[in-house]
Structure 1
Amino acid sequence: MWRQKRRKLLLEQQELYSIVGRPNVFVYGELRTATENFSSNNLLGEGGYGSVYKGKLADGRVVAVKQLSETSHQGKQQFAAEIETISRVQHRNLVKLYGCCLEGNKPLLVYEYLENGSLDKALFGNGKLNLDWPTRFEICLGIARGLAYLHEESSIRVVHRDIKASNVLLDANLNPKISDFGLAKLYDDKKTHVSTKVAGTFGYLAPEYAMRGHMTEKVDVFAFGVVILETLAGRPNFDNTLDEDKVYILEWVWQLYEENHPLDMLDPKLAEFNSDEVLRAIHVALLCTQGSPHQRPSMSRAVSILAGDVEVGQVANKPSYITEWQIKGGNTSSFMSSNVSGQSGVAPRSASHASSQFLGSVIEEGR
């Protein structure tokens, strides 16, 4: 019996290595010791994929150990994809993978530990982090640079597919690093798009991807635009505790923009800010969340606009997915509904119930 289990494990390891090549491999006992036997005191977070624990290796490195649950939606292929993708890309705004462990029935990924946790907790949680305007602006720029690298600069072209505030981690100096490459896809930039099964998180999905499964790098661009707005406003993209006209962040910001009061969307905690930088960030967010992927900028252009290297005028085209719902007396919950990683978990209003049901039926991966 023991030999059969051992043989099965070796076959699984060989299968995985054939997919991704041999990464740096940790011994299970080493990681068990590092995390104090995966103590609840070291638990950093958990979700459908499993749990993440803080640990300290024998060489003194502090790490984050991602332990996949046996029932995780992230199977071997996604596990392999995460290792393959992040092992082949290196950038100051991407989380660093140290290696993995394939012993036992719960595969482990070992990442650098980032002291200040996820952006969503910093923005929406009750933590003690004070994200002033310069910090928030640099966070937006850092995320943009990381995505520009993935899309245009790395040796492989990568669509992350799950850009959201909870997948942006902050280091000791509050520099942002994009994490969680379990849904990432390599793509051929010579193709117009790739049709694929929809995966991702409510609230960040581009319309063409959510409705038709059409995937290009512009899927990440859309999600980045939503993250900008969340970072500026200090609130999630869906919050049903707010007044009705503020529940969906894109509808609310577009209303303020058309009324020439875009600065009213800023987090009240921001007592001081650079209005030129804020307006540039809002413009970029509205460009990035245009309904047509062709109307969204590349991430390198988004970086240039944010940095002030390229001028941007008024954003004239209000996305049709917002306008159509407003005409029908509904809302944009098709794309701006609650996500599964800590935002308000209340069902969207009934006016768009059918559309919400549709998305609920197709978004299965990554939950």
Structure 2
Amino acid sequence: MSVISLLFFLTLHHGFLLASPAVDQFTFDGFAGANLLLDGTAEVTADGLLMLTNGTTLLKGHAFYSSILRFHAAASTPRSFSTAFVFGILSEYADISSPGLAFVVSKSSNFSTALQSQYMGLANAANNGNASNHFLAVELDTVVNAEFGDMSGNHVGINVDGLKSVVADNAGYYDDGTGAFRNMSLLNRTAAQVWVDFDALTSLVNITMAPLEVPKPKRPLLSATVNLLSVIQDEAYVGFSSSTGVVSSRHYVLAWSFRMDGLAPPLNTQKLPGLPFTIPKRSSKMLKILLPIASAALVLALAITVIVIDRRRRKYAELKEDWETEFGPHRFSYKDLFHATNGFCDERLLGIGGFGRVYKGVLPASGTVVAVKKVSHESRQGMREFISEVVSIGQIRHRNLVRLLGYCRRKRELLLVYDHMPNGSLDKFLYDHSMPVLSWSQRLGVISDVASSVLYLHEDWEKVILHRDIKASNVLLDADMNARLGDFGLARMYDHGTDPHTTHVVGTMGYLAPELGHTGKASKASDVFAFGVFMLEVACGRRPISQDEHGDHFLLVDRVVEHWREGTITDAVDPRLRGDFAVQEASFVLTLCLLCSHPLPSARPGIRQIMQFLDGNTPLPELSEAHRSVNMLVLMQNQVVLNSHSLPSTVAGNISDIPGAR
């Protein structure tokens, strides 16, 4: 072969090498040193975990493979692809979370205009579902959002250009041996694996998942036909998106593989970094045998000594700290409270609240009947709520506030002692049909009593106290059916004329003012909003959020606004009253309710002005048409339409005892 021929051959061969397609494949068994496009809260930890959200509420994070991939072959036909990844979700609470995470195939890696919470960092209220979004997403969602038709708070969905799933199913897998469906919890704090396979010939997307120790099941969890050509057109990025709502959660990806035109490479699950809060591994059998033998004599001697000397002392042991001297009211001995409640037996149980159990007791020395709230030591917020309640109401006295008589502390038990309210909580009379129906005059009396208590907290005491959880279940009725506001576990106290500097959303879904979702700052106006919803609850005999037989959720505020628009506002009054009320008076009360629950804080009256309205000293202003927007604003704040059978109702801390928000 001549030199010229050889040079021509080498040049031609080199050209073929340059023109041959790249292998669109990668594998990350851990992400240490991985070249990824990260934004928002996303980061690679020192242990090699891809952390999409870091526990901060109401933020978003994205992570994409650094190179754009070509999803269409010649003649504009789509290419098949396959991916596998291992993920884990760690929530502050065992049964509620922020929305989960999503695997995304997107024309763009820029999601700067997307919202957090229920929008998962993929879309916003204006463009959700628009074809211009150009993304295919597989969501692993831990929150129910009725706005998007979610089926449960533990589901997997295939989404195109928006957050409403094309198809969805509960998280789980089909057992290859029996064919039976096995449920999986997305919130069980353990890692799990997901496979996403797209067949270009059938345009079918298959989603499969399983626990880490289970091989890929043969039957997919769900499938959907997707026209990938119209969704992402040609080139696209692949990666993950996640966001947080009002519950502190962290979303992790532990490993990831991807391949065009073939099955994704298998992941080496033996090399994966561990999740931060996994259950400790069991110690070896050798350690279990040797350690007890080596220390048996010493442990036995110490145990006998402790039991003999300290048994009785520890039974009634208490704690006392410096702050109690300044703020604490009368202190009871644990021994007296133990005997007063007959050992906190179930026969003395009055009810179970968000932060513990309440027992009826009779003090041995005086014979006084009391209510003893025993805060659960399992509650991470327990100590903080206990201190808040003692500090807030340990020194205040008002006829319409439940009086705190004293308290007691033990190492793992927190107890508060109150006046006993013979008729229990107001919500029993509103929702338990076996109880007598409250008359209209009794309801007006309850509203006036609670308004008087809020006025005292906001204006008339030496400091401002924001209750932050005004609702029917926190209002108790004495022997004469007078209402008293109680449960100050979420209260915030500050000096008059200063800013409370609240940074966490707390309260109960349905009572939260719209601005709390944006500012996180409680105020007198947010207490007034909750009081307005409470008044509606009393007048209408309905809960703030209700569910019909089809599973759709409705806001009570929205129902009353619709009646107001139609000129039939008194139709919203509790039907159990059978019309036994003054129409003009009912119209006045319901209009005042809507003014108090106005979406704009500046448009709500202050509590002193509310008292003047109720006393007839000031005429009620006309209701503004701005209430047309109340439904959207309240829905955006609450983040989640509660499923009353699966989610608790109170939010605190980052949020304590709540439902998450999508």
**Larger strand proportion of the pair:** 2
Residue ranges of structure 1 left out of the alignment (5+ in a row): 326-330, 348-358
Kindly provide the amino acid, as one letter, of the partner of residue 433 in structure 2.
N
User: Aligned residue for 1:24?
Assistant: 330
- Partner secondary structure for residue 319 of structure 1: helix
State how far apart, in whole Å, the 2-side matches of 1:146 and 1:191 are: 21
> 2:356 and 2:631 mapped to 1: Cα distance?
39
Q: CA deviation at 1:218?
A: 1.1
Cα distance in 1 for partners of 2:614, 2:652 equals 36
Q: Does 1:296 align with 2:599?
A: no
Q: CA deviation at 1:191?
A: 3.8
The alpha carbon displacement at 1:310 in A equals 1.1
Q: Cα offset for 1:316?
A: 1.3
Q: What residue in structure 2 maps to residue 332 of structure 1?
A: 635
Deviations 1:98-125 (A, max 9, x none): 1011134211100011011111121012
The match for 1:235 is 542
Q: Which is higher, the Rg of structure 1 or of structure 2?
A: 2
Where in structure 1 do 4 or more consecutive aligned residues deviate above 6 Å? 3-7, 242-246, 359-362
Q: 1:320 to 1:15 in 2, by over 3 A?
A: farther
- Structure 1 residues 137 and 48: alpha-carbon distance in aligned structure 2, compared to 1, 3 A threshold: closer
Identical-residue share of aligned pairs (%): 35
Deviations 1:207-252 (A, max 9, x none): 1123321221111100000011111111101111268998210111
Deviates more, 1:271-280 or 1:302-311: 271-280
Q: Does 1:147 align with 2:454?
A: yes
Residues 165-210 of structure 1 show CA distances to partners (whole Å, capped at 9, x for unaligned) of 1111111111111111111111344246634211111111011123
- What SS does the corresponding residue of 2:546 show, helix, strand or coil? coil
Within the candidate set 75, 78, 100, 2:407 is matched to 100
Tell me if 1:275 matches 2:583.
Answer: yes
SS state of the match for residue 221, structure 1? Answer: helix
Please say which of residues 189-198 and 134-143 is displaced more in the overlay: 189-198
- Report the secondary structure of 1:309's partner residue: coil
> What amino acid does structure 1 have at the position aligned with 2:462?
S
Check conservation: 1:51, 1:69, Cα contact below 8 A. yes
What is the CA-CA distance between 1:4 and the residue it aligns to?
10
How far, CA to CA, are the matches of 1:265 and 1:77 in structure 2?
39
1 CA distance for matches of 2:589 and 2:553? 19
Mapped pair 1:51 → 2:357: yes
Report Cα offsets for 1:285-339 as digits up to 9, x if no partner: 11111112111111111111122221113201333643647xxxxx837439666
Q: TM-score, normalised by structure 1?
A: 0.85
Match of 2:573 among 266, 278, 285: 266
Q: Which amino acid aligns with 1:67?
A: K
- Relative to its length, the structure with more helix (as a share) is 1
2-structure distance, mates of 1:163, 1:91: 16
Aligned match of 1:254 = 561
Which of 485, 489, 498 is residue 178 of structure 1 equivalent to?
485
CA shift at 1:49, angstroms?
1.3
After TM superposition, the score normalised by the length of structure 2 is 0.49
Match of 2:48 in 1: none
* Aligned partner letter, 1:21: F
Give the letter aligned to residue 139 of structure 1: V
Deviates more, 1:313-322 or 1:209-218: 313-322
Task: Answer yes or no: is 1:157 the counterpart of 2:157.
Answer: no
Deviates more, 1:169-178 or 1:245-254: 245-254
Specify the code of the residue in structure 1 equivalent to 2:544: N
Secondary structure of the residue aligned to 2:405 is strand
Give 2:588's aligned amino acid: R
1:365 maps to amino acid: S
Given that 2:504 and 2:655 are in contact with CA atoms closer than 8 Å, whether structure 1 keeps it comes out as no
**Alignment correspondent of 2:340:** 34
Structure 1 residues 37 and 159 mapped into 2: Cα distance closer, same or farther (>3 Å)? same
3-state SS of 1:215 partner: coil
Unpaired stretches in structure 2, ≥5 consecutive residues: 1-301
Distance in 1 (alpha carbons) for counterparts of 2:612 and 2:551: 35
1:315 alignment counterpart: 623
DSSP 3-state at the match of 2:635: coil
Distance of aligned partners of 1:338 and 1:45 in 2 relative to their CA distance in 1, 3 Å threshold = farther
The residue identity in structure 1 corresponding to 2:603 is Q
> 1:94·1:146 contact (CA, 8 Å) conserved in 2?
yes
